[in-house]
Structure 1
Amino acid sequence: MLTKKEKERLFLEKYLDQLEEKFEIESTESPDFILTRNNYKIGCEITDFYSDYSDTGSILKRSEVYVNRLHKIARKRIKERYPKGYSITIHYNHIVINHLKFIEEAKSLEEEIRNYINERQIINPTPNIRRVTILKRNHSTIINLSVTSNYEDTKEEYINCIVKSKSQLASKWFSNFESNWLIICAGASRSSDLDLRDISSNDKFELHNWNKIILVDIFTSEILEIKENSKINYIAF
Structure 2
Amino acid sequence: MKKVFSDEDLVKNLSLYYLNRHLKKKPIERYHRTIDESPLHDREKYKKKSEILLLNSFMHHFPEVKFENLTCESPDFIAQFNNKKIGIELTEVINHLEMKKVESCLNKIFRQAEIVLEQEDTTKYRGVYFLEFHSNIRFDHPESQQEIILSICKSIKKNKPSGCIKSIRKSFHRRNVFITHEYSMNLFDELCSEKILELIEKKNEKFPYYDTSVDECWLVIVSDMNSLASRYTFIQDKEHLNEVKSPFHKIFHLENLCGNITSIK
User: Does the TM-score normalized on the shorter chain lie above 0.5?
Assistant: yes
Q: Residues of 2 paired with 1:113 and 1:153: CA distance?
A: 31
- Residue 107 of structure 2 is matched in structure 1 by 68
Q: Residues of 1 paired with 2:121 and 2:67: CA distance?
A: 51
Contact 1:47 1:185 in 2 (8 A): yes
Q: Shift in Å at residue 44 of structure 1? A: 0.9
Return closer, same or farther for 1:61/1:205 CA change in 2, 3 Å cut-off: farther
Which of residues 153, 162, 166 in structure 1 aligns to 2:199?
162
- The C-alpha deviation readout for 1:176-216, integer Å capped at 9, x for no partner, is 54432111223452322244675653556534432321111
Gaps (5+ residues) in structure 1? 53-57, 124-130, 136-141, 228-237
TM-score by length of 1: 0.60
Gaps (5+ residues) in structure 2? 11-48, 170-176
Contact 1:90 1:146 in 2 (8 A): yes
Contact 1:89 1:146 in 2 (8 A): yes
* Higher helix content, 1 or 2: 2
Give the length in aligned residue pairs.
Answer: 203
The answer to whether 1:210 aligns with 2:253 is no
- Residue 78 of structure 2 is matched in structure 1 by 34
Contact 1:160 1:205 in 2 (8 A): no
The answer to whether 1:122 aligns with 2:163 is yes
Return closer, same or farther for 1:201/1:72 CA change in 2, 3 Å cut-off: same
Q: Residues of 1 paired with 2:146 and 2:152: CA distance?
A: 10
Return closer, same or farther for 1:95/1:34 CA change in 2, 3 Å cut-off: farther
Q: Secondary structure at the match of 1:220?
A: coil
Task: Give the fraction of aligned pairs with identical amino acids, expressed as a percent.
Answer: 18
Q: Secondary structure at the match of 1:154?
A: strand
Q: Shift in Å at residue 72 of structure 1? A: 1.5
* Higher strand content, 1 or 2: 1
Q: Shift in Å at residue 153 of structure 1? A: 1.5
Q: Shift in Å at residue 68 of structure 1? A: 1.6
The structure that has the greater radius of gyration is 1
Which letter does structure 1 place at the counterpart of 2:262? L
Q: Shift in Å at residue 11 of structure 1? A: 3.8
